[in-house]
Structure 1
C-alpha cells in the first residue's frame, strides 16, 4: 500500500501559516473527533511541512486509514482521508473439524473480526494460523483460501474456503534407544495406534499433535515410575508421505539407569510434625524409584498441612543421584507457607439451586482457618446431593491480604425434574398408561416432591411423596408419602373379581449424628384388602383362610391393618450420588408390624455398596442386599410384604420378581412367582467409558455378574446367577440403564428376560 501526502500551499511550499480552520473530508465510519485527537496541529497553531509530515504519520499509524492527504487552501487546513474497509462478516465454507464460533473468537484475538478494519496482512496471518490448526489435527492436506468481497458503505465480507482433505493415518510407530522395555510394550501405553478393528470409531490411528504430546508424557511417566530417573525423550520425528495421507512416527529415547531409593528424609519447616509427615511417604529405602509414588507422597504431605490451615504448602523433592551405585537419596523440602483463613465462600454455576442449599453442605466456613479436609468433605457432600454433574472447589488469594483466601465453589447443574406421560404394552398387562411429576430439587430448595400414577390391567397405583433433607436447621430430614395401590396378581387365572387393594401413609425422620451417618425413625398406617373367590391363587387364598376368611368355594374379603414402626441407619461415604466412583454406602433397617394393627411381623434389611476407581473413568463396584422376615404372634406372615427378586435392579437376565418360591397355576398350567420372606442379592459391576469418549461420565459401558434369590419360610441358599453387559446414560430425563443379561444355567422353570432397562439407581 502506497501512502501519498500532498501539501499545497497558496503562498508556496516553504511558507508556514497560522491555521484558522481544519476541515476533514472522506470520512464514512470514523468520527471526526477521532481524527482531531490524532492531529498534532490545532486551530491557532502555526502549520509547517514538518507538522504536516507528522500529522500524516500519526493518522496512518492508527490503522484506520489506507490513504491520508493534507492540503492547504489559504489558512484552512484540509485533511483528505480514505478509510480502510471494515469487515462486515466472516464466513467459513467446508469447515467441519472445528467449531466455527470458536474459530471466530480465536481470529478476533489476532485482529480479524466483524466490525474490525480490514488488513490484508492480518487475513494472510489468519490463513496460516488456520493451516497450523489443521496440521495439529493431522489434516496435512488441508487447504485454506481467503477471499474478500467488497460491500456497500466501504465494507467487505471475508470468506475462508476450506478443503480439509483426509486425516493423515499413522502407518508406523517405532522407537530408538529402548532396551528395558520392548517396542510393543511402549506402544500399548500410547493413545495413537497404527490401527485396529475399532479404529473406525476410536480414530486412534489418526495423527494428532495434541495426542502425540500426551503420549510422550505417558511414556515419560512409564519410565519414571519404574526407576528410570534420568529418562529423556531425545527427539520425535514425524514423517509425512508425499500424498500427505500417511504418517511415520519415530521416537528416540535415552533410558539411563534404573535407580533404587537409598535414603529418604524431610527438610525445611515441618512445624514439629516430622514424625507424622514421614509416615505419609509411601517410598521406602530399597524401593525402586517411582515418580507417581513420590508425587502421591508430596501431595499427601501438602494436604495434611492444608488441614492445619496452610493452604499453600509445598513439598519440593531434591534428589541426590549416585550413578555409579544406581542409587538416589531423596530429600523432601517442606515449605508450609503462611497459615491462612477463609474470607469468603463464593458460589457460581447454580442458576437454579439456591445458595443456601449449597452453603448448608459446606464444612469449610468463612472467617475460619482453611482446612483442606473440610474442603474435600464439602465437595463430597455436594456430590452426594445428586443435583450436579460436576463440582469443583478452588482457592484464590485475596489481594493485599497475605493471610486470607477465598474459596470458590463452581457447580454444573443437571436437570432434576421430569414430567412424564407415557403408554406401554405387555403381554400380561396389555395397555399401560403412566404419568408423573417428579422434582428432586423443587424450586431450587433441595426438597424433593413427586406425584406418580400408573394404570394397567393388573396393577394401578397413585403415589404422592415429599422429601425434605433439612426439615430442621440441624439437618433432620423428613420423608412422607401417601399411596393407593390396586393389583390383581396372576390375573390370567381368569378370575376378574380377585383383587388386592392397599392405601396408606408413612412418615420417616432422619437424624444425622456424623458427617456420613444418619439414623431413621418412622411410623405410618397401611390398610390392605384382599377380595377372594374360589379361583384365587392358592397362596393368597391360604393366607386369607388363616384369618378365617374365604372358606373353600366361597368368596370373601380380608381386610388387614398395619401400624408399622421403622428404624434404620445409613452411612453414605460415596463421592457422588449420581455417578459414584469411590467410597461406600451402608444401610440397615427394620420394620415391625405392631400389635396396634392385625399384621404382626418384622422385616430386617441390610445393604452394602462399595466403589473403587481403578483408573480415570474405570470403576469397579460391588453391591449386596440381604432381607429377612418372620411373623410373630398368632397371625401368619403377610404375603403382601414378601420380597421379590429378579430383573434390573437385582438379578438381571430374569423377569422382574420371578425368582424364588413359585405357585403352580392349575388354570394356566404355569409356575407363577409369589415372592419370599427372605432374599439375597449380590452384584458386581465394571464400568468404563465408551471407547473414544475420553472420560465422559454421562455415557458409559459396563459388564456385570449378578446372583440372588428369594426364599420361603425355609431358607435354601441356592442362588440364581447371570452375567452380561450394558450401557448407562445420564439423560435429560434422568439416569437410564440398559442391560443385556444372560442367565447362567437357569432352572427349567426360570422366566428369562435378557434385555431390560431401568430409570434411576446405580445397580
Structure 2
C-alpha cells in the first residue's frame, strides 16, 4: 500500500510539474541540495543544456531522481529558458542501534542491514526500514519465536539527520506439543521418527533443543522420513501434506504429516548406459543393488557416488551419474538405469595456495599428493587435504577446482587455508599436600618461521625436581621427506628433601643428548630411528631410601649410570585432523635399547593403538590402548665374586641381600596415574609402592616404623592403560577446535614385571573432561571419580585435575 501511495504521489507531482510548454534548455539550476553535490544529480538527469524539454523528458527526469532514493520530493519549474529542479533530500542515518536481540548477533544484523542500505552514513529510506522489520520477524519465526516484535524508532536530528533505534522483543520459543504422522501402517511412529531433529519435550530438550520448531529442521526430518521408507523398498512413498499449527498464545505448536506408504518394490534389472570409459565389469563392482533385491534408494545413491569417485580418480573431475528408476506398479518392480556422463578428462595445470601468510608455499606443496601436470585425482585431493590438516598449522583447509578459461581439459586447483597458531606458551600449575606447588612451562613452535620445522623448550620445577628439555626437528632434510631431529635434556630430582614424599627417597642428576631420523614409508606410515647418550648420577640414602633400591644400586656398583641408547619406532597415523580429530587413529610401536657399552643393559617396548569413530549427531567415540614392557639382558653389575663379598657384608649386619642385578633399572620404570593417564589418581602414583628403609606397608598402604608414613610409588617394568572416551556435541559450539567435552572411562596400572600382572588389580575411574582453548590458552579440566580401587589408594586419589597455558 505504501508503494502504491508513493507512485500516486509521483504521478501527482509529475502532473503539476509538467504544466509548461516545450522549450530549449539554456541552463539547469538545482535548489535544495545540502549533502549531495550538483554533479551527482547531473549524472542521473536524462537531459542537459541545449536539449528540448518536454513533458515526457520531465517525467523521465523525475523518475530517475526518485529512483536514486536520495530525495523525498522532486519538483521542476521553468524560469525563462532555465530549468529549475527543486529537491528535498532524504535525511542521512547518523546513528543505528539494535537492542533486545539474543538469538541473532548485533554484528550479523548490522551486516545484513548494510547490504540493503540501512547503515550509519547512508540515506534513510522508510520503505527499506519497513522491509527490514518484516525480514527480522521472518527470521525469528524460523527460530520458532512467533511472539517476537520488532519496533523501529526514528528520531529526527538537526542538519537533516535521523537516529534509528530498532527494539527487538524476542519472546519465548514456541514448544512442539505434538507430532503426528498420519497414514503409516508398516512402521510405528517410534521407528520412523528415530533420528528426527524435531520432537516433543523430554528430559534432554534443554540440551538438544529438539522441541524448538525450525522450518529447516522440519524439511530435513521429512527428507529422513522419505529416505527411511525408500531405503526399505517403498519406491513410490510420498508425503501428501504437512500442517504446522500455532496455538493462539503463540507458545505451542502442533505438527502433522500425511503420508502415503505405497508398496514394496524389488529391482528387476540394473542397466549401465552412457559413455563407459571403464570396463562394465569394473563399474558393476560399484553397484550395490542387484536384481531381485528390495529397492533401496540409499544403496543407489551410494552406487552413484562410488562410480563418480572412481571416475574422478582417473581424471574425470566433472563426471555425472544419474539414476533413472522406472516403476512397474502392476508387478511392483523397478527397472533401474544408471546413466554415466564422464565428461572431458582433465589434468591439473597449476596448484595455487591462498591464505598462508606465515607458512611458506613449499611446506604446503610437499603435503600435496595432487601434482601439477598430472591427471586430476579426487583421491589425491582428499589425501592432500588430510595431510594438510594433520600438520596442525591450519584451522580450516578447503581445496577447490576451477576450469581453465579457454580449455576443456585443464583445471587449476586452489588450496585455501586459514592459519591458526602453531606455537604455544604453556604453563601448568599443580599442588600436592606433600610436594607443594608444581610449575611447568614450555615454549614451542611447530612451524618455525613458516618453514615447517619445529622447536620447543620446556621446563618443570617443584620442591623436589627440576627438568629442562630442548627439541628441534626438521621434517624435510631431503626432498623425499627424511627428517632429522635433536634433543637435549637436563633433569635433577631430590626426593630426599621432601617431607613425607610421595616418591621413593633418592636423588638423580641426568644429562642426555640424542639425534634421530624420521623416514616416511607411505603417506600414513613412518619410521623413526635414533641414537643417544646419557649420564645419570643416582644418590640413595640408607634408612630413607627403600632398601630394595639401595640393594640394586650396590649390586650395580656404580653411582653414575652411563648409557648409549638406540631407539626405533614405527607410526601409522590416519587421523583426519591434529587438534580435534573425528575419525581415524594412530598405531605406534617403539623400542629403546641400552647398548652393550651401557652400565645397565636393558630394553623397553611401548605400543599404542587408538581410533576415533563419528557415531552420529556430533558424538565421537575414542578408544585407546597402551602397553609398555621393559627387561634387562646380558650380565649387569658387579661380578659373582664381588656379589658374594657384598652378601657376606650384609649378613654381618644382620641383613639379607637378594640378587637383583638383572632386575629392570628402577629409574627407567613405567608409572601410571595422572591428568593424562588414569585420571582421578595423582600423577605417577599407581603401581608398586614400598616403604622407606626396610619397612613393609600394611593393607592400607601405611608404613609402620618407617621414616615416611605412606608407601612410596616406584613404578614398574610393565604397564597397561585403556581409555574409552565419548566426545559430546555442544549445541552452542560449532567449532570443536575451540572446546570439547567428553565422558571417559580409564583403566590401567603399572606392575613390577609381566609376571606380576593381575586384572583384579587394575584401577579404573570415570568422569568428565573439558578441553578448552581459553583466552589464557589451552586448558584441560578433569573431574574424575575412581570406582575400581584398592585399600591403599585413598591417599593418592585426586578428584579435580587441571592444566592450562596460552598460545601465540
Which residues in structure 2 correspond to 1:527-606 (within 5 Å)?
A: 527-534=535-542, 535-548=544-557, 558-606=559-607
- Cα distance, 1:101 vs. partner? 2.4
Report the counterpart of residue 160 of structure 1 in structure 2. Answer: 166
Q: From the superposition, tell whether residues 346 and 231 of structure 1 become closer, same or farther in structure 2 (CA, over 3 Å).
A: farther
Q: Does 1:643 align with 2:670?
A: yes
Report the counterpart of residue 135 of structure 1 in structure 2. Answer: 141
What SS does the aligned partner of 1:98 have?
A: coil
CA distance in 1, matches of 2:216, 2:529: 56
Q: From the superposition, tell whether residues 409 and 76 of structure 1 become closer, same or farther in structure 2 (CA, over 3 Å).
A: same
Is contact 2:33-2:87 (8 Å) kept? yes
What SS does the aligned partner of 1:188 have?
A: coil
Is contact 2:673-2:679 (8 Å) kept? yes
CA distance in 2, matches of 1:748, 1:54: 96
CA distance in 2, matches of 1:501, 1:741: 34
What SS does the aligned partner of 1:749 have?
A: helix
User: What CA deviation, in whole Å up to 9, does each residue of 1:682-710 have, x standing for no partner?
Assistant: 33333331356568464334333433332
Is contact 2:500-2:709 (8 Å) kept? no
CA distance in 2, matches of 1:317, 1:411: 35
Higher relative contact order (CA 8 A, sep 6+): 2
Q: From the superposition, tell whether residues 330 and 652 of structure 1 become closer, same or farther in structure 2 (CA, over 3 Å).
A: farther
Report the counterpart of residue 288 of structure 1 in structure 2. Answer: 294
User: What CA deviation, in whole Å up to 9, does each residue of 1:312-361 have, x standing for no partner?
Assistant: 11211111223334332322222211111112223334343333222210
Which residues in structure 2 correspond to 1:266-665 (within 5 Å)?
A: 266-421=272-427, 423-489=429-495, 491-492=498-499, 498-534=506-542, 535-548=544-557, 558-615=559-616, 617-635=618-636, 636=661, 637-665=664-692
- Cα distance, 1:119 vs. partner? 2.6
Is contact 1:235-1:252 (8 Å) kept? yes
What SS does the aligned partner of 1:105 have?
A: helix
- Cα distance, 1:302 vs. partner? 0.8
- Cα distance, 1:238 vs. partner? 1.1
1:106 to 112, 115, 125: 112
2:44 to 38, 42, 54: 38
Moved more, 121-130 or 608-617: 608-617
2:723 to 660, 676, 683: 683
User: What CA deviation, in whole Å up to 9, does each residue of 1:486-529 have, x standing for no partner?
Assistant: 12347446899941111111111111122222122111111101
Q: Does 1:183 align with 2:189?
A: yes
CA distance in 2, matches of 1:714, 1:35: 92
Q: From the superposition, tell whether residues 681 and 496 of structure 1 become closer, same or farther in structure 2 (CA, over 3 Å).
A: closer
Is contact 1:724-1:739 (8 Å) kept? no
Report the counterpart of residue 552 of structure 1 in structure 2. Answer: none
Is contact 1:699-1:729 (8 Å) kept? yes
Q: Does 1:86 align with 2:92?
A: yes
- Cα distance, 1:309 vs. partner? 0.7
CA distance in 1, matches of 2:107, 2:731: 27
CA distance in 1, matches of 2:231, 2:55: 73
Stretches of structure 2 lacking an aligned partner (at least 5 in a row): 1-5, 637-660, 693-705
- Cα distance, 1:576 vs. partner? 2.1
- Cα distance, 1:310 vs. partner? 0.7
Q: From the superposition, tell whether residues 326 and 688 of structure 1 become closer, same or farther in structure 2 (CA, over 3 Å).
A: farther
- Cα distance, 1:587 vs. partner? 1.8
CA distance in 1, matches of 2:408, 2:438: 65
Q: Does 1:746 align with 2:789?
A: yes
Is contact 1:648-1:756 (8 Å) kept? yes
Is contact 1:7-1:52 (8 Å) kept? no
What SS does the aligned partner of 1:256 have?
A: coil
Q: From the superposition, tell whether residues 169 and 714 of structure 1 become closer, same or farther in structure 2 (CA, over 3 Å).
A: closer
Q: From the superposition, tell whether residues 119 and 132 of structure 1 become closer, same or farther in structure 2 (CA, over 3 Å).
A: same
Is contact 1:726-1:737 (8 Å) kept? no
CA distance in 2, matches of 1:272, 1:225: 28
Q: From the superposition, tell whether residues 138 and 50 of structure 1 become closer, same or farther in structure 2 (CA, over 3 Å).
A: closer
CA distance in 1, matches of 2:14, 2:613: 76
CA distance in 2, matches of 1:659, 1:192: 47
Q: From the superposition, tell whether residues 757 and 264 of structure 1 become closer, same or farther in structure 2 (CA, over 3 Å).
A: farther
Moved more, 495-504 or 217-226: 495-504
Is contact 2:629-2:754 (8 Å) kept? no
CA distance in 1, matches of 2:500, 2:360: 53
User: What CA deviation, in whole Å up to 9, does each residue of 1:293-321 have, x standing for no partner?
Assistant: 22222111111111101111121111122
User: What CA deviation, in whole Å up to 9, does each residue of 1:433-478 have, x standing for no partner?
Assistant: 3332122223332222211122111221111112222233321122
CA distance in 1, matches of 2:65, 2:787: 85
What SS does the aligned partner of 1:107 have?
A: helix
CA RMSD of aligned residues (A): 2.8
Report the counterpart of residue 127 of structure 2 in structure 1. Answer: 121
Is contact 1:24-1:81 (8 Å) kept? yes
Alignment size in residue pairs:
749
User: What CA deviation, in whole Å up to 9, does each residue of 1:661-688 have, x standing for no partner?
Assistant: 2213332242222111222323333333
What SS does the aligned partner of 2:364 have?
A: helix
Moved more, 571-580 or 512-521: 571-580
Is contact 2:769-2:780 (8 Å) kept? yes
What SS does the aligned partner of 1:715 have?
A: helix
Is contact 2:145-2:174 (8 Å) kept? yes
Stretches of structure 1 lacking an aligned partner (at least 5 in a row): 550-557
Normalising by structure 2, what TM-score?
0.86
- Cα distance, 1:591 vs. partner? 1.4
What SS does the aligned partner of 1:424 have?
A: strand
- Cα distance, 1:134 vs. partner? 1.5
Is contact 2:466-2:492 (8 Å) kept? yes
Q: From the superposition, tell whether residues 220 and 692 of structure 1 become closer, same or farther in structure 2 (CA, over 3 Å).
A: farther
CA distance in 2, matches of 1:696, 1:36: 55
User: What CA deviation, in whole Å up to 9, does each residue of 1:570-617 have, x standing for no partner?
Assistant: 222222232233333222222111233323112222222233333353
CA distance in 2, matches of 1:336, 1:592: 56
What SS does the aligned partner of 1:563 have?
A: strand
CA distance in 2, matches of 1:208, 1:184: 21
Q: From the superposition, tell whether residues 49 and 335 of structure 1 become closer, same or farther in structure 2 (CA, over 3 Å).
A: closer
What SS does the aligned partner of 1:332 have?
A: strand
Q: From the superposition, tell whether residues 431 and 58 of structure 1 become closer, same or farther in structure 2 (CA, over 3 Å).
A: closer
Is contact 2:99-2:166 (8 Å) kept? yes
CA distance in 1, matches of 2:55, 2:591: 101
Report the counterpart of residue 245 of structure 1 in structure 2. Answer: 251
Q: From the superposition, tell whether residues 716 and 116 of structure 1 become closer, same or farther in structure 2 (CA, over 3 Å).
A: same
CA distance in 2, matches of 1:245, 1:145: 21
Report the counterpart of residue 203 of structure 1 in structure 2. Answer: 209
Report the counterpart of residue 554 of structure 1 in structure 2. Answer: none
Moved more, 569-578 or 732-741: 732-741
What SS does the aligned partner of 1:312 have?
A: coil
Is contact 1:678-1:710 (8 Å) kept? yes
- Cα distance, 1:250 vs. partner? 1.2
Larger strand proportion, structure 1 or 2?
1
CA distance in 2, matches of 1:222, 1:8: 67
CA distance in 2, matches of 1:264, 1:619: 37
Is contact 2:619-2:727 (8 Å) kept? yes
- Cα distance, 1:370 vs. partner? 0.4
CA distance in 1, matches of 2:430, 2:740: 27
